[in-house]
Amino acid sequence: MGTVRVTIGWAATIVSVLVCFDAIGNARAGSPTLSKIVREVQPKVVKIYGSGGLRGLEAYQSGLLISADGHVLTVWSYVLDSEEFLYVVLDDGQRFRASIVNHDPRLEIAILKIDSHDLPYFDLKQETAAEVGAGVLAFSNLFGVATGSESVSVLHGRVSARTELTARRGAFETVYKGPVYVVDAMTNNPGAAGGALTDLQGNLVGLLGKELRNALTNVWLNYAIPVDQLRQSALDIMAGKNPPRIQDESAEKPTHPHTVQRLGILLVPDLLSRTPPFVDQIVPGSAAQRAGLQVDDLILFVEDRVADSIESLREELEYIDRIDPVRLTVQRGDELLELELKLTPQEADR
């Protein structure tokens, strides 16, 4: 179901390039060579640098340009935890501060924005897919080899399967449970997440996923999320649909809104600019306890709006009257749960 992970460092780039260009001779007569395709695709793939390092975690990953105006599609991860340290480096070495437009926790994707124009990009509206057995190219900054104007690495392989992660619930610890391409290339390495999986014509077919290991066999899965699974969500985020409520000037706050304290939720210390809203403690007998919220749950949504930090969670609650129930979507391990928290009349009147 996957390939055993090996540490190959710089050799990964050398071997991948050799393998890739060894396949050039197999290109059909009259069609673009793989070398030309690679040169056309690499400028559409970016290097992302952000949080990490303090706990021995890599502070880099990959991303894809999906608009000429600097929208970047990538995976949602701890690397994006703080916008203070978030940068995107283009293929030519240009370095930009990046902001997070929004993200979709269910798909584990995020859209970033840099201040640039007239960039080469992948068109998400283009319908492409890969058949099982088809040759593919994986573009990413695996192992952080590219730091400036160096191009990202390229791996050549084939689609081994298109399968549902839901069929392996419990074996792989991931929130995303939809279809994936399983590929026979070593895409499951540090820094590769958020890279591009293309066909041999350079058309985008998938987004390289995060490192994912089978909890039963310790086998690492080399996979990509098909474009058809993330297209609509990414386009909606780019179009500004369902933004954080703080950006909605027409929204009005009730006189008596909800607070995390009144609901009986104690969160982890708010130390970063985007500290994730993890539950640290639950007050006994509170609305949170009655609803089944647990310590270490990660709150992802308030109603249908993303709560990507403790600050945004508090802000979203300010728009809900305390007499109304609060619907939270939380991540518990690799499961997404919807919980409804409702105050008693006595709790609401305090």
Q: How far apart are CA 46 and CA 217, in angstroms?
A: 33
CATH fourth-level superfamily of 245-349: PDZ domain (2.30.42.10)
Averaged pLDDT, groups of 10, the chain, 350 residues long: 37 41 44 86 96 73 97 92 88 95 88 96 92 95 90 94 67 74 88 95 95 71 93 91 58 89 94 85 96 94 85 92 93 86 90
Does residue 213 contact residue 221 with C-beta atoms inside 8 Å? Answer: yes
Does residue 309 contact residue 269 with C-beta atoms inside 8 Å? Answer: no
Q: Write the CB contacts of 295 (distance below 8 Å, at least 6 apart in sequence).
A: 279, 280, 281, 282
DSSP for 59-77, written as a single string: -EEEEEE-STT-EEEEE-S
Q: How far apart are CA 185 and CA 5, in angstroms?
A: 11
Q: Residue 272: what pLDDT?
A: 73
Q: How far apart are CA 78 and CA 60, in angstroms?
A: 10
- Assign a CATH topology to domain 10-238: Thrombin, subunit H (2.40.10)
Q: How far apart are CA 196 and CA 194, in angstroms?
A: 7
Q: Residue 187: what pLDDT?
A: 85
Q: How far apart are CA 230 and CA 170, in angstroms?
A: 23
Q: How far apart are CA 317 and CA 305, in angstroms?
A: 10
Length of the chain: 350
Q: Residue 31: what pLDDT?
A: 56
Model's pTM, two decimal places?
Answer: 0.72
Q: How far apart are CA 106 and CA 234, in angstroms?
A: 12
In the chain, CATH 2.30.42.10 sits at: 245-349
Instruction: Identify the residue whose tokens are 């080469």.
Output: 120
Q: Residue 27: what pLDDT?
A: 43
Instruction: Identify the residue whose tokens are 């690495």.
Output: 153
Q: Which two tokens stand for residue 247?
A: 């950006």
Instruction: Identify the residue whose tokens are 């000037």.
Output: 249
Return the SS3 of 270. Answer: coil
Q: C-alpha angle 106/110/112, rounded to 5°?
A: 165
Reference 77, options 58, 55, 56, 97; nearest CA is: 58
Q: Which two tokens stand for residue 155?
A: 């791996």
Sheet holding 298-302, edge to edge: 305-306, 298-302, 326-332, 335-341
Considering only CA atoms, give the Rg of the chain. Answer: 22
